[in-house]
Structure 1
């Protein structure tokens, strides 16, 4: 699971809570664009000629809406369960060791609230607005089973939702191994989901009115980055290292301000596997810079760097000065 905390922050600030539009008038369709300058001025095209095609921006998806006041009230009550209460926040601050337990409780109750609402309002558009927070809560806990389960419920309601496509594909890619009998089918499903997310990120994301453009751009960039990282991870596991290199580099380029250390290390190893040792060493050094040597990923990054230094004859990193013992 990659950049979880950052993604949750971005999501909480930007993604539209569409049920709050209950009671507002329906959106009008935009006027049709003229097909040519002649058509705009009332002129007709000469016989045998057709108007040139006009480039149009993809239509934004209408946010889900509650249709009745009882439905809206029930959604609002259920939505309140998807976040920590003031008491839970205070408890976590007082006893940081209880944070994971509190987060798990929030995730469990958000799932239950979504299921209860879906049972009471089986045709409601806003069911998705409850399953998505449940998916995020489990993703934040690195609970892969529940993340996938909630993500698939989201996709059952909206097969084009890019966030759910990325999260589910990420879980599938991480949990599929070479020894799995159905690995080809699972890799194929995850790859198609990630590729689809890259297509729908522009058309199937909605945001609160007034959301700053930089936050919208950051959210979309993060989704693209994670989609490419899934594709690169699948290529890597299939020993398609050239394609893995391409997709992992795209993942880094899509969100350059916050490179994912796991993706950077995977890129270094993909280059290593292609005998591109000098390039691999540069990337491995970057992975070392992004990690602490006490972490698992940090140790792997340093092992890869040291291996590549031996292969390229690169200078080892300077030794850390040893603390002098106190004099008696």
Structure 2
């Protein structure tokens, strides 16, 4: 949607009626002294199509292991054996080093060039299938599927809640006394996988790497001490904030992997609200928002969104969820 901040936004407190707004109304929906927390990860062209002999192999990188090795979900992975070399376009190749229990593979890329450079040559943007369909990705996708804050290479899916922001909206937030803060969580494709286990405790979240600097952590704690609210922009920001927060409610600096899985019954410590798009009903992301607002309330939110024509998923409309009203 253009401009991006013209998307619809559904405001939901813990009870009562819903507020019908646009994202550009956000400065009027928050309070001076609040802070919005954004994920500044940048999506890389992480999808590759190649061959092992005559077998076609598709790979979606989802987590960096080291400078030359990535963990990847592989299509037609049964045709791979440890030590096989996959040839990708533009003279890019990788060795299939090891198969993991979840069916993914460790791919070790050949050569001396940074893997990100190789991906720019041979890869394509990892658009969700409901966006890409059967069409090839193009140059426009490289910009459309990035937030205005994207700086640090490593994500294979966009933190889509922040796609709605524009320079004009940021200026309006600044004028209203609403601060912004940044963290980095390199979003992996595993975040969006459906829950197939009958018992959610058996669902294994894929680890993702994230960081919160000491300076950012202190500024966020200062907002809380001054009576402001910490509003996560997107479930990726929320999950990293909760990973970095201890029982005392203080956000600590963080650097490392997180596989936090938030389900109903979880007690939130780091955040006071969430701006997020609308998710698949059986996804871990719907479980997260149900933990925040309560299952009955979120079912009512989604029923209202469906009845009034809100757009769902990555390029869809937005919601502002405030569990304390």
TM-score (norm 2): 0.25
Q: Decide which structure has greater helix share.
A: 1
From the CA coordinates, give the structure whose radius of gyration is larger: 1
TM-score (norm 1): 0.25
